[in-house]
């Protein structure tokens, strides 16, 4: 039986839902490997794979339901780059600006989005080891978070993960409001880990 989490990534399977009593959430990233290798755009298109941002958005509902409930959306996802957004509506705090945990979440999700686009999901899954956030200004509008990895860094991470079964990498993100004002910055320590190691 196909894992219900794949339903979020695969058109036509959205009616499937996971059973929280019998499904091993720690293995969810492994199920992405049953899909076409996302890094190769021609392969993805030939297999009618959805755009990478839709893959991430579909997966959030099942793998990180709280982020989905906040309204976090992947707007752009490609090898080495991801951008996410979240609305201010429904995510306010006690003094009328965006809640700090929502700003953290919209930035932290970038590590998974970039990993899906940049690495072979049949071999690897990402995890976050540490994340620091620096709040710069209150966010009174919807926000957008962006982060990137260079081709050289992607190659280094892949080579190290192949050799050692895992590789750490740093991802810095900038969160801006609707006017382009920087409201937060993050520095995250992520790890790309081989399945089964």
Q: What is the CATH number of the domain that holds 70?
A: 3.10.129.10
State mean pLDDT over 5-21.
38
pLDDT at 64 over 70: yes
Range of the domain at 118: 4-194
Using a 10 angstrom Cβ sphere, with 0-12 exposed, 13-18 middle and 19 or more buried, the burial of residue 14 is middle
Could you tell me how many helices (H) and strands (E) the chain has, helices first?
A: 6, 6
Measured between alpha carbons, how far is 90 from 141 in angstroms, rounded to an integer?
11
State mean pLDDT over 1-15.
38
Total number of domains constituting the chain: 1
pTM for the full predicted model: 0.78
Of all residues in the chain, what percent carry a pLDDT higher than 70?
75
State mean pLDDT over 94-110.
97
Residue-wise DSSP of 89-131: TT-B-TTSSB-HHHHHHHHHHHHHHHHHHHS-TTTEEEEEEEE
pLDDT at 1 over 50: no
Query: Nearest Cα to 50, choosing from 62, 63, 36?
Result: 36
Of all residues in the chain, what percent carry a pLDDT higher than 90?
71
């Amino acid at each position: 039986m196909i894992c219900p989490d794949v339903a979020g990534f695969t058109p036509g399977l959205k009616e499937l839902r996971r059973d929280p009593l019998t499904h091993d959430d720690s293995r969810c990233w492994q199920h992405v490997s049953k899909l076409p290798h996302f890094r190769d755009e021609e392969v993805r298109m030939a297999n009618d794979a959805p755009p990478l941002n839709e893959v991430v958005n579909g997966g959030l509902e099942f793998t990180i339901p709280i982020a989905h409930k906040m309204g976090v959306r992947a707007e752009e996802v490609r090898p080495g780059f991801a951008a996410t957004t979240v609305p201010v509506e429904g995510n306010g705090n006690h003094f009328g600006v965006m809640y700090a945990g929502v700003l953290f979440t919209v930035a932290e999700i970038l590590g998974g989005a970039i990993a899906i686009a940049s690495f072979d999901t049949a071999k690897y899954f990402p995890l976050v080891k540490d994340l620091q956030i620096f709040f710069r200004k209150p966010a009174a509008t919807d926000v957008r978070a962006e982060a990137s990895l260079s081709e050289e860094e992607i190659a280094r991470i892949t080579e190290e993960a192949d050799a050692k079964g895992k590789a750490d990498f740093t991802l810095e993100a900038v969160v801006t409001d609707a006017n382009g004002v920087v409201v937060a910055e993050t520095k995250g320590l992520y790890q790309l880990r081989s399945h089964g190691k």
